[in-house]
Amino acid sequence: MRIPFEDMKSEFKRIFLKYGISEEKAEICARTHAETSRDGVYSHGANRIPRFINYVKKGWVDIKAEPTKEKEFGALAVYNGNFGIGVTNAFYCADRAMELAKKNGIGLVGLKNTTHWMRGGTYGLYAAKKGFTAICWTNTESNMPPWGGEKPKLGNNPFVMAAPANNGEPVLLDMAMSLYSYGKLQSTRLAGKKLPFPGGFDKEGKLTDEPEKIEESMRMLPIGYWKGSSFAFLLDVLVSILSDGASTQDMDKIAKGSCGGCSQIFIMIDPLKISSQAYINEILNKAKAYIKTADGKEIRYPGEGMSNAFKENSSKGVLVDDTVWAEIKSL
């Protein structure tokens, strides 16, 4: 079904207020989840509301907690998220990194003891619209075996890069280190389909495109095989070092759900200190046009699919699964 954006946002806000979240934070979280669905990232928009509320009920997310500064040096700062709401913690630290970047050209904020930031791209887009270049990532609990191993001991550690806004058509990378998410395995299985490409190993160690076999083995495939495994490892150790925070294995012990106690990095760069928005727009437009000359019908620049979903969901109403919407209404 389709729900008008404002109605969806209002419904989310109603729920957040009901569970005791402050007016200000309820507004931010409702807008973020609704925008995430509107941009076509359904898995982290409407679909995540029930789980988020469940975490609040369990005390895994402390809705009263505020981020507190632990360290600051030059263009670096470290914050403690105190297990507060992941979305508002992340916006706070993105803002702080942009403040540092305004002053120093670049700023890095490490955030520890935070909770799920939902869609990582949110903070890339947020920065891009303000004219910043963003490089952000989070670690997660173990959900992917390292290359050569059988048991999940690495997070899929989503990584975000955003270019400064280009006339409202953002250029955004938001990718996990696993080729597919468990959500994608589930939805593919429920649709009775196979994955477009092998997405993991079965219990016998053979690559497979059958989602149920990967759900059974928990042997998700890293992007680029050994490469994504190494990238995930580096993202975890760097975020632990630079936020003074929990690593993937620490989170496995914390065991407060998806991304409970995770660590995040927000690197923001103010390119207008060394360039101009007109020149940046020229670079982006040229790059977009160039890849379209590669002779394919389906060539899209990173962020184009999101822009297409934005347009359709804005005009027709935001797509949401019937059962998800029913669950949300019942909260």
Residue among 110 and 261 whose Cβ is closer to a second copy: 110
Contacts (CB under 8 A) with a second copy, residues 139-178: 145-154, 161-164, 171, 173, 175
Find the shortest distance in angstroms from Cβ 35 to a second copy. Answer: 20
Convert residues 214-253 into a mask of x (bound to a second copy by CB under 8 A) and - (unbound).
---------xxx-xx-xx-xxxxxx-xxx-x--xxx----
Binding to a second copy (CB under 8 A): which residues in 308-327? none
Query: Least distance (Å) from a second copy to the CB of residue 105?
Result: 3
Closest CB to a second copy among residues 150, 212? 150
| Residues 271-300 interacting with a second copy (rule: CB under 8 A) | 271, 273-275, 279-280, 283-284, 286-287, 290-291, 293-300
Q: Which alpha helices (H) appear in the chain, and where do they start and end?
A: 5-18, 23-38, 49-58, 86-104, 121-129, 182-190, 211-217, 226-243, 248-254, 277-291, 304-316, 322-330
Q: How far apart are CA 66 and CA 92, in angstroms?
A: 9
Q: How far is the CB of 128 from a second copy (least distance, A)?
A: 11
- Whether the Cβ atoms of residue 125 and residue 170 lie closer than 8 Å to each other: yes
Annotated catalytic residue, options 44, 48, 116, 219: 44
Q: Considering only 16-24, 80-88, 186-194, 268-276, which stretch makes contact with a second copy by CB under 8 A?
A: 268-276
**Least distance from C-beta 136 to a second copy, angstroms?**
12
Rounded to the nearest angstrom, the gap between the alpha carbon of residue 328 and the centroid of all alpha carbons in its chain is 21
Q: Looking at beta carbons only, is 22 or 230 nearer to a second copy?
A: 230
C-beta of 55 vs 132, nearer to a second copy: 132
**Cα–Cα–Cα angle for 270, 127, 243, nearest 5°?**
85
DSSP conformation class of 3:
E
Query: Tell me, what DSSP letter sits at residue 291?
Result: H
| Phi, then psi, of 77 in degrees rounded to 5 | -150, 150
Q: Footprint of a second copy on residues 72-111 (CB under 8 A)?
A: 73-76, 78, 103-108, 110
Distance CA 177, CA 114 (A): 20
Identify any residues that bridge with 160 across adjacent strands, giving them in sequence order: 136, 174
CB 302 within 8 A of CB 159: no
Q: Is 268 helix (H, G, I), strand (E, B) or coil?
A: strand
Catalytic annotation present for 44? yes
- Taking the complex as a whole, the smallest distance from the CB of residue 265 to a second copy amounts, in Å, to 10
How many other C-beta atoms can be found within 10 angstroms of the C-beta atom of residue 74? 10
Count of residues near a second copy by CB under 8 A? 78
Identify which of 119, 160, 126, 156 has the alpha carbon closest to the alpha carbon of residue 265. 160
Amino acid type, 237: V
Q: Shortest approach of a second copy to residue 251 CB, angstroms? A: 11
Q: Based on CB atoms, which residue is closest to a second copy, 61 or 242?
A: 242
- Span of 10-18, 37-45, 71-79, 321-329 interacting with a second copy by CB under 8 A: 71-79
Q: What is the DSSP string of 12-48?
A: HHHHHHHTT--HHHHHHHHHHHHHHHHTT-GGGTGGG
- Binding residues among 18-57 for a second copy as defined by CB under 8 A: none
Among 179, 259, 306, 320, binds a second copy (CB under 8 A): 179
**Least separation in angstroms between CB 213 and a second copy:** 18
**Is the CB of 73 or the CB of 323 nearer to a second copy?**
73
Residues with active-site annotation: 44
